[in-house]
């Protein structure tokens, strides 16, 4: 067997082997008392945009596409979700101090306005998560109102 065939065989065995090591999934049907929707009155149009474009990476319930079961992609996805939730978790939003909530609303408004969120690496595959100008205006306006309402 040639060296090239041995390398291809070895890589194939490794790729098949790593498929058996799946990260834990970020799934929960529970909407806790600290979820942003329980803490604040989230209008339906705002909720629809948050669910469509934000919750997969910034809540305790990710909707996983078929390709999320293929390694090493699922490891990358799990790490991406972990970092997203560390930065902002809508499922635990009520646990943030008022100051932190205010800062999060301000940061979200700025990032949406500047096109930083959702990440282009996410919207590249999830085309339905791309924010229209109207979606951006709805979110930025609501984030601003919420920021101003927190004492």
Which pLDDT tens digit goes with each residue over 60-105?
988 877 776 788 877 787 888 899 999 999 999 999 999 999 999 9
Which pLDDT tens digit goes with each residue over 40-51?
999 999 999 999
29 burial type by CB count under 10 A (0-12 exposed, 13-18 middle, 19+ buried)? exposed
Determine the pLDDT at residue 128: 86
Residue 30, phi then psi, degrees to nearest 5: -80, 135
Of 124 and 133, more confident: 133
Determine the pLDDT at residue 110: 95
124 burial type by CB count under 10 A (0-12 exposed, 13-18 middle, 19+ buried)? exposed
* Residue 83: closest CA among 146, 140, 35, 26: 26
Using the predicted structure, report yes or no on whether residue 113 has a pLDDT greater than 90: yes
Tell me if residue 30 falls in helix, strand or coil.
coil
């Amino acid at each position: 067997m040639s060296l090239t065939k041995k390398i291809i065989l070895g890589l194939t065995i490794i790729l098949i082997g790593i498929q058996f090591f799946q990260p834990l999934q970020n799934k929960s049907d529970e909407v806790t008392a600290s979820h942003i929707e329980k803490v604040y009155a989230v209008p339906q149009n705002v909720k629809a945009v948050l669910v469509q474009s934000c919750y997969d990476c910034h809540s305790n319930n990710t909707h996983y596409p078929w390709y999320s079961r293929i390694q090493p992609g699922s490891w990358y996805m799990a790490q991406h979700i972990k970092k997203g939730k560390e930065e902002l978790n809508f499922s635990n939003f009520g646990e943030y101090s008022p100051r932190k909530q205010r800062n999060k609303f301000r940061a979200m408004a700025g990032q949406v306005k500047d096109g930083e969120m959702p990440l282009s690496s996410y919207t590249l595959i999830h085309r339905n998560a791309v924010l229209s100008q109207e979606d951006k205006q709805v979110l930025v306006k609501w984030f601003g109102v919420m920021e101003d309402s927190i004492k």
